[in-house]
Amino acid sequence: DLINENIDGESLLSNLDDCLEQVFKTTSIEGRAQLKHILTEYQTRWSNYNIKQKQLKQMIHNVKIDRMEIDETLNEINDWITEHRFKLDELTNNLSLRDENRKRLYQLKCFSNDINVKQTLLNTLKEKILDNDRFDLIQQVLQEFQEELRVKTNELEEFVRTQILIEDSKQSIMEKLKFFMDRLSLCTKTDCDLDTLQSRLSKIEEYKIELEDLEKDFNQSYEQYQSIIEYNLNSTVKLNYQQNFEQMHLVIDNGKQTIERAILELKHLCDIWYQYEKHNKTFVSWLNQTENQLTAFIATNGDDDECTIDYLNQLSETIA
């Protein structure tokens, strides 16, 4: 909406400043600093474009003035040549060997020399006309410049939109990663019962799925980054973007590794709990059975101490 065929670079900069002021209010401090840096470069480039545009217009004006002056001079020279050719013809017709005619002959030669000088000047002016008759070419260059300015402006607007999306995506990813890490630290505590361990294991597996989705978002943001580096960005901005994405990728990888370790640890603890409960049930069953047998034996042979001692010794060996 900001661009049309009649708008110049200076007006376009003013409109873009109003538009980008709203963008600066909605992006991060780091994003704003990068945007301001890039915009400063493009504002400098547009200022150079405006200077070039004014210079081209001044050249067109000068060519028009020169053309008018040359046409006026050519008319004067043509009139002078016509007049002196007439005089030359008159002198030629009246030429004689008399002194008077000799004098006229001398004048004729002078006129002829003057004509040759004027003819040389005329030829020079004609060459100058050919050299300066570039009005159509200048108009074409000016139109190409305006088209280049329009294309560059569209590219800058697309770059700004893409950068805002990347900044928003980066901020969202970092917030989600922080949330995952905070929740993960709670879920990896092992001083709890089996049900709590299973619940935490289930929750961590859910976090793993969410982190995989987050990694997809990160990859999409990186693809957007790959598209914007095709623009003419300076090396500092490119390096800053690359370092940010490498840092984010490292954080995501660390998060994935932490979750994998937590899952393995919790699964191991759950297996230990399973084995404990399995053996505990067996032991409780055996203990109940032994207690019943001991109660029945005492009820039957309680008065026979020797027999009772033998039975208890056997039971002790069994327990051992």
192-225 pLDDT tens trace: 666 777 777 787 788 778 878 877 877 777 776 6
- Whether the CB-CB separation of 95 and 108 falls below 8 Å is answered with yes
In the predicted model, is pLDDT for residue 7 greater than 70? no
More confident residue, 53 or 17: 53
What is the reported pLDDT for 125? 66
Could you tell me the pTM of the whole model?
Answer: 0.41
Question: Dihedral angle at the C-alpha atoms of 252, 253, 254, 260, nearest 10 degrees?
Answer: 110
Look at 9 and 201; give whichever has higher pLDDT.
201
Residue 311 pLDDT level (bands cut at 50, 70, 90) = confident
| Band of residue 68 on the pLDDT scale cut at 50, 70, 90 | confident
The angle at the Cα of 46, spanning 45 to 47, to the nearest 5 degrees, equals 90
Split at pLDDT 50, 70, 90, the class of 82 is confident
Residue 41 clears pLDDT 70, i.e. is over it: yes
- pLDDT level of residue 248 (50, 70, 90 thresholds): confident
Higher pLDDT, 129 or 303: 303
Q: Tell me what pLDDT residue 16 has.
A: 60
Fold of 162-280: Methane Monooxygenase Hydroxylase; Chain G, domain 1 (1.20.58)
> In the prediction, which pLDDT does 184 show?
66
Nearest residue to 54 via CA among 88, 10, 118, 94: 10
Choice between 70 and 164, residue whose per-residue pLDDT is larger:
70
pLDDT at 5 over 50: no
> Is residue 103 very low, low, confident or very high in pLDDT (cuts 50, 70, 90)?
low
* First-last CA distance in the chain: 90
Distance CA 109, CA 141 (A): 49
pLDDT at 2: 37
Above pLDDT 90, what percent of the chain?
0
The owner of tokens 């949330």 is: 179
| Amino acid 97: pLDDT | 45
Per-residue pLDDT at 80: 80
Tokens of 202: 């289930």
CA distance 47 to 50: 5
pLDDT higher than 80, residue 57: yes
Mean pLDDT value across the chain:
72
Evaluate if residue 85 carries a pLDDT over 60: yes
- Looking at residue 3, its pLDDT comes to 37
Region 230-259 average pLDDT? 72
- pLDDT value of position 1: 38
Which of the pair, 107 or 54, is modelled with greater confidence? Answer: 54
Domain parsing of the chain, residue ranges: 9-133, 162-280
pLDDT, greater one: 63 or 237: 63
- What is the predicted pLDDT for the residue at 120? 76
Higher pLDDT pick, 3 / 182: 182
| Predicted pLDDT at 131 | 59
SS3 annotation, the chain = CCCCCCCCHHHHHHHHHHHHHHHHCCCCHHHHHHHHHHHHHHHHHHHHHHHHHHHHHHHHHHHHHHHHHHHHHHHHHHHHHHHHHHHHHHHHHCCCCCHHHHHHHHHHHHHHHHHHHHHHHHHHHHHHHHHHCCHHHHHHHHHHHHHHHHHHHHHHHHHHHHHHHHHHHHHHHHHHHHHHHHHHHHHCCCCCCHHHHHHHHHHHHHHHHHHHHHHHHHHHHHHHHHHHCCCCCCHHHHHHHHHHHHHHHHHHHHHHHHHHHHHHHHHHHHHHHHHHHHHHHHHHHHHHHHHHHHHHHHHHHCCCHHHHHHHHHHHHHHHC
